[in-house]
Amino acid sequence: MNLKRLIITTIIIASQLAMVLPVSAAEAGKQDTVSAIEQQTAVTSNNLGANSATAQNNNVTNPEQEGQVNNDQDTSLTGEDGKTEETGNSTEEGQTEQPTGTEDGSDVNGSNPSTTDPTTTPDSNVNATGAGAGQLILMMNSNKMYQGGKEYIAGYPMEVKNGVSYVSIRAIVERAGLQLSFDNKTKETIISRGNDELRFKLNTANYRVNGVVTPMKGTSYSAKNNFMVPLTAITKALGIPYSVDNVGKRVILNLSTKPVASFSIGNKEVIAGETDVQYLTNSYSPSGLDIVNEEWTGRQDMFTDPGTYTVTYRVQDSNGQWSEPFSLKINVGKPHTPPLANFMTDKDTYKMGEMITYTDLSTDEVGIKERVWENNERAFFTPGKMTIRLKVVNQFGLTSTVERTITITNELLYSRDDFNKLFTPVGEKYAFDGTSVPSWERVNYSISSDPVTLIRSNSPETVYSEGRVYRETASGAIRFMVHHVNSTGKNMKMYVVATNKNDTTTRLTQTSLGFAGPTPIATAAGKSSVERYYKSLQSGSQYKDVWIAPGDSKIIMTELNATTMKQGDVISLFADMYSDQALEFNVIMIDPNKDPLTLAQSLSLPNLEQDVHNRGTYEDSTRYLQYNELIGTTKQRLLIGDNSNDPFQVGHDGITNDYKLNAGNFGVLYKIKLYRVAPNTLITFNPRGGRYSGSIMVNGDIVQLSTGSSLSAPNDANVLFRTGDREQTVEFVFTAAPGSNLSVNLLFQPLPEKK
């Protein structure tokens, strides 16, 4: 009975083999097999692994090149009736397989699967147990493995599905000296070796190799609680060479048991006599053994002479095996030389109040990073010897200092005040007696305006909880001023959401925008947002159209919400827009993980109470100040934001509908045109309400207020412009920077005579 059964089984298997055999025996002799693989005579490896051993078998194919049907082996596990078996019961995703065998070949229950295993066994002429040192033999269509002269039993046979060879992860890990773990959070089975990490998920065709998602040749699956993956997913990622013995129907993995040594240098450059060399080692044992010893050749913690040095490193594991030596060539550069500080003055002797010209002649081999001057005044106003110092620093932190001494005589050329008026550069400040400014003649300019709606969202300036800081409905020309501080104690984002409650689509056109932050410095945010707003006026670079369908909402001015605000961060924004229909605008500060489009219209989002700062909606927010008479022949001042010559705006609160007064006229854009400025007139900016940090446009150019530090009221004057020998028309564009104080003056006075 058993003989008859064996004959029937043999006939069925032979008939199945015939279905995939080539036309002739000659062709069959040219075909190599393992899990339906294309011909290839080279062994693959991957540079993620450090093992570079090559296959020794002459009859070699590459399991990575999958997709060709085998010619001399069964491509699936078959039962005695010749039908393909359904192999394995599925398990929950990520479930790791149970231990599949012991070194004596029995399974965990004590039975020996080899007694009933129907898969192909090694050919009688092939010595399967004769694996060389460091080799693991996997039998095709079998759960038998051989290593070090011993037979081991995998929990499930190596099998082919859809032209791809699959192996049990646990079987490979146990025999290849790899580490196996499971991540319960991500439901991933993890194979690790040294710094290499492979992460597999059940029923997926991708895996992660050192964090990089990588495709596999097939989809992972579970078979009788064994996690099965394509063999090449492991060999390729870990650089494990292998060969295929078609005659013996086996795959031979070449597993080096030697430890692997490598290292790198942590320094960007190594300089002789300067650099403490950082040696970063990266060594491991493929067998998981401890590294117990290391040996260096040519290592120096600091190289004394420039040149190229070879440093070699090897390690020893707890079994006493030494790794192959690993070598690096280290290029040691010559020592850096410090910079050479040097400067000259145009003369050695000067009068009091005479301009001194400094010429920096400092040099360095790679470039000077920083210059620190001491006592390099533009002029001195007391006689005697004056010593000037210059310290220069290069990018390596090396320094050099030089000093020179000049002589100041008793002869006076300019007083300090006259000198500052004539020679302080545009954009820089000088000190003067500002207490007399209120007595200067006022410029009685004429005022007109454009119908621009200002939406000023600036209260509560310091936001302590999530909510709506402002809401308004507007159309036509609109200007936004948004300035807030996050004091909620957690990360937040600010949004402006526009909602179209009309029956037709609305076109919202952004013409200019300046944004700054998040930053913990309020004055810095305010200054930068205004300067960027001016730049957008110059270039038109912020122009864009947004189309909003009926009933739809869109986030606008997305620079505002591009970056999360941390505790204490400030944001500041100016923008000009035009809407062809009325839109509702909601300014909100919410958790970064929440949906702004939903919350902007939600009644559950609280309207935050205002603080001492101002919020409101104001009309006619572009003001034109014009003066047609001659100006600059005497001391005169033009006031901005004083509520006298320049009255404050009256408006309402868009949330409470309360009466509002825009103190200081923050958010108003001033366009000032002086048609007749006298020849040789000095124009300066003088704050009156407190400290000021910002900028102003003069004849189309942006002038800082100031380039060094902020201006102090009332005794700082920032130079804006000097007219030449003829009358000139001078134009200014100005809006007050958030975080600064109003009112301010533009001062006009005759320049002293040049000598």
What's the CATH code of the domain at 347? 2.60.40.10
- Look at residue 79 and tell me whether its pLDDT is greater than 90: no
Give the pair of three-digit tokens for residue 421: 């008026």
Same domain, yes or no, for 628 and 590?
Answer: no
- Look at residue 90 and tell me whether its pLDDT is greater than 60: no
Residue 6 lies in a domain: yes
Same domain, yes or no, for 293 and 203?
Answer: no
Query: Among the three residues 309, 333, 357, which one is the final residue of a domain in this structure?
Result: 333
- pLDDT band, very low/low/confident/very high, at 13 (cuts 50, 70, 90): very low
State how far the Cα of 39 lies from the Cα of 27, in Å rounded to an integer.
12
- pLDDT band, very low/low/confident/very high, at 88 (cuts 50, 70, 90): very low
Same domain, yes or no, for 13 and 99?
Answer: yes
Radius of gyration of the chain (CA): 41
Same domain, yes or no, for 242 and 268?
Answer: no
Residue in 454, 461, 456, 481 with CA at minimum distance from that of residue 589: 461
- Parallel/antiparallel/unpaired status of strands 467-486 and 570-590: antiparallel
Q: What is the mean pLDDT of residues 288-317?
A: 94
Q: What is the mean pLDDT of residues 151-165?
A: 90
In DSSP terms, 506 is beta-bridged to 548
Residue 157 lies in a domain: yes
In which domain, by residue range, is 379 found?
343-413
Quick one: what percent of the chain has pLDDT higher than 70?
82
- pLDDT band, very low/low/confident/very high, at 396 (cuts 50, 70, 90): confident
Same domain, yes or no, for 25 and 84?
Answer: yes
User: Which residue bears the tokens 């603080």?
Assistant: 611
State how far the Cα of 138 lies from the Cα of 254, in Å rounded to an integer.
11
pLDDT tens for 313-339 read 999 998 888 999 999 999 999 998 999
Query: Among the three residues 547, 580, 613, which one is the final residue of a domain in this structure?
Result: 613
Per-residue pLDDT, 287:
67
Same domain, yes or no, for 626 and 609?
Answer: no
What is the DSSP secondary structure assignment for residue 749, as one 8-state letter? E
Q: What sign does the CA torsion over 141, 143, 146, 151 have?
A: negative
Dihedral pair phi/psi, residue 81, rounded to 5°: -90, 5
Q: What sign does the CA torsion over 729, 730, 731, 736 have?
A: negative
Give the pair of three-digit tokens for residue 300: 């120096």
Same domain, yes or no, for 28 and 171?
Answer: yes
Give the pair of three-digit tokens for residue 230: 């394509």
Angle at 320 (CA atoms; ends 318, 323), nearest 5 degrees: 100
Instruction: Please state, in angstroms and as integers, the Cα–Cα distance from residue 655 to each residue in 127, 457, 471, 554, 585, following that order.
Output: 89, 11, 6, 20, 11
* Cβ proximity of 166 and 229 under 8 Å: yes
Across all residues in the chain, what is the average pLDDT? 84
Residue 423 lies in a domain: no
What is the DSSP secondary structure assignment for residue 12, as one 8-state letter? H
Residue 419 lies in a domain: no
Same domain, yes or no, for 276 and 182?
Answer: no
pLDDT tens for 99-146 read 333 333 333 233 333 333 322 233 333 344 445 557 889 998 899 999
Count of residues making up the chain: 755
Residue in 493, 668, 488, 480 with CA at minimum distance from that of residue 571: 493
User: Which residue bears the tokens 């002799």?
Assistant: 29
- CATH number of the domain bearing residue 734: 2.60.120
Q: What is the mean pLDDT of residues 279-288?
A: 85
pLDDT tens for 404-462 read 999 999 999 999 999 999 999 999 999 999 999 999 999 999 999 999 999 999 999 99
- Look at residue 74 and tell me whether its pLDDT is greater than 80: no
Same domain, yes or no, for 666 and 706?
Answer: yes
In total, how many domains does the chain have? 5
Same domain, yes or no, for 488 and 562?
Answer: yes
- Look at residue 160 and tell me whether its pLDDT is greater than 90: no
Residue 51 lies in a domain: no
Per-residue pLDDT, 289:
83
What is the DSSP secondary structure assignment for residue 709, as one 8-state letter? S
What is the DSSP secondary structure assignment for residue 67, as one 8-state letter? -
Same domain, yes or no, for 458 and 358?
Answer: no
Query: Among the three residues 254, 287, 305, which one is the final residue of a domain in this structure?
Result: 254
Quick one: what percent of the chain has pLDDT higher than 90?
71
Residue 77 lies in a domain: yes
The answer for residues whose C-beta is within 8 angstroms of residue 508's C-beta and 6 or more apart is 498, 545, 546, 547, 548, 556, 577, 578, 579, 583
pLDDT tens for 454-499 read 999 999 999 999 999 999 999 999 999 999 999 999 999 999 999 9
Q: What is the mean pLDDT of residues 596-614?
A: 94
529 SS3 class: helix
Residue 55 lies in a domain: no
Same domain, yes or no, for 456 and 443?
Answer: no
Per-residue pLDDT, 147:
87
Residue 50 lies in a domain: no
- Look at residue 305 and tell me whether its pLDDT is greater than 80: yes
Cis peptide before 286 (omega within 30 of 0): no
Distance of CA 657 to the CA centre of its chain: 43
- pLDDT band, very low/low/confident/very high, at 239 (cuts 50, 70, 90): confident
- Look at residue 68 and tell me whether its pLDDT is greater than 60: no
- Look at residue 94 and tell me whether its pLDDT is greater than 90: no
User: Which residue bears the tokens 């408006």?
Assistant: 651
